[in-house]
Amino acid sequence: MIFSFSRLSLYESCPYRFYKKYIQGYEEPITYPLALGKGVHKAIEDKINGVSHSEAVLNGIIEADFHPEITLEEMSDLVSHAPIKKNIGATEVHFKLPLSEEESAPMIQGYIDVVTADGSKIVDWKTNRRRYDILDNNQIGLYAWAIGQMKNRSTVEGNLYFLRFRKESKHVFKQADMEKSRQWALGVANAITSKCEILDLIPEEAGNLFLATPSSNCRHCPFAIECFRKFRRN
């Protein structure tokens, strides 16, 4: 399995949901926040690459697959809040790297919204209704580590830009910060890999290996009914 921040993060929040989605392959429905995030990212990317605002917004609506809860106005507002400057950097920068030097190291990949030419700064656009601190999770630390590897840099400034609020949360990631995020990713990826190996041998142990972990996220979980029945039975 090739890991990503969102996969690792889903495993951490609920291993059973991770199991349903990434091991059993059940597709989760495209919710309003997911569709909005996808559309806004596409529109901002287009604008950075020279497409007019109105055309970029339209492309965003198409990318969001005309989700019924997304209006042209909301898309346009969010896109207009992105502080796009000339030569801001490359968009949707892909990375795919081993998480350690071991031959069997798990691979991690991701897309970074904006990376400056020298790799000194990265930006991730957020459409969230609630702001949080860039250090509240390992996403940008991990992305900074990836850019550090690719551009041979010991520091990378990471920025989370909350479009609704026109506010950013930023941090200059030094080698120790990047290493901390890499170690986190490696630890979670190794835990998943070990469980998958056991699962191959004893598939009936899936529910014990990948424990359902109730939280506020259950409200938006497509496996909630099945999960509730399972809890009741046990």
Q: Which residues contact 182 (CB under 8 A, 6 or more apart)?
A: 99, 142, 145
Q: Of all helices (H) and strands (E), which one includes residue 139?
A: helix 139-151
Instruction: Please work out the total of residues on this chain that contact ligand SF4, with binding judged by CB under 6 A.
Output: 12
Contact with ligand SF4 (CB under 6 A) among 52, 128, 194, 217: 217
Q: Which part of the chain contacts ligand SF4 (CB under 6 A), choosing from 62-70, 110-118, 196-204, 214-222?
A: 214-222
Q: Which is nearer to ligand SF4, 145 or 223 (CB)?
A: 223
Is 18 near ligand SF4 (CB under 6 A)? no
Strand residue runs (E) in the chain: 2-3, 90-98, 107-115, 121-126, 156-162, 167-173
Is 224 near ligand SF4 (CB under 6 A)? yes
Q: Which part of the chain contacts ligand SF4 (CB under 6 A), choosing from 22-30, 34-42, 105-113, 212-220?
A: 212-220
Q: Which part of the chain contacts ligand SF4 (CB under 6 A), choosing from 101-109, 166-174, 187-195, 216-224?
A: 216-224
Residue 88 CA to residue 49 CA, distance in Å, equals 10
Which alpha helices (DSSP H) does 14-63 contain, by range? Answer: 15-18, 32-48, 53-63
Q: Is the dihedral of CA 38, 44, 49, 51 positive or negative?
A: positive
The angle formed by the CA atoms of residues 2, 144 and 189, to the nearest 5 degrees, is 30
| Residue 130 · residue 169 · CB < 8 Å | no
Is 227 near ligand SF4 (CB under 6 A)? yes
Cα dist from 7 to 3, 11, 18, 139, 193, whole Å: 6, 6, 7, 11, 13
Q: Which part of the chain contacts ligand SF4 (CB under 6 A), choosing from 33-41, 122-130, 177-185, 215-223?
A: 215-223
Residue 234 CA to residue 221 CA, distance in Å, equals 20
Is 16 near ligand SF4 (CB under 6 A)? yes
Is 210 near ligand SF4 (CB under 6 A)? no
Cα dist from 47 to 36, 42, 124, 213, whole Å: 16, 9, 15, 40
Contact with ligand SF4 (CB under 6 A) among 3, 8, 17, 185: 17
Is 24 near ligand SF4 (CB under 6 A)? no
Is 145 near ligand SF4 (CB under 6 A)? no
Q: Which part of the chain contacts ligand SF4 (CB under 6 A), choosing from 102-110, 118-126, 190-198, 220-228?
A: 220-228
Is 14 near ligand SF4 (CB under 6 A)? yes
Which residues bind to ligand SF4, rule: CB under 6 A? Answer: 14, 16-17, 212-214, 217-218, 221, 223-224, 227
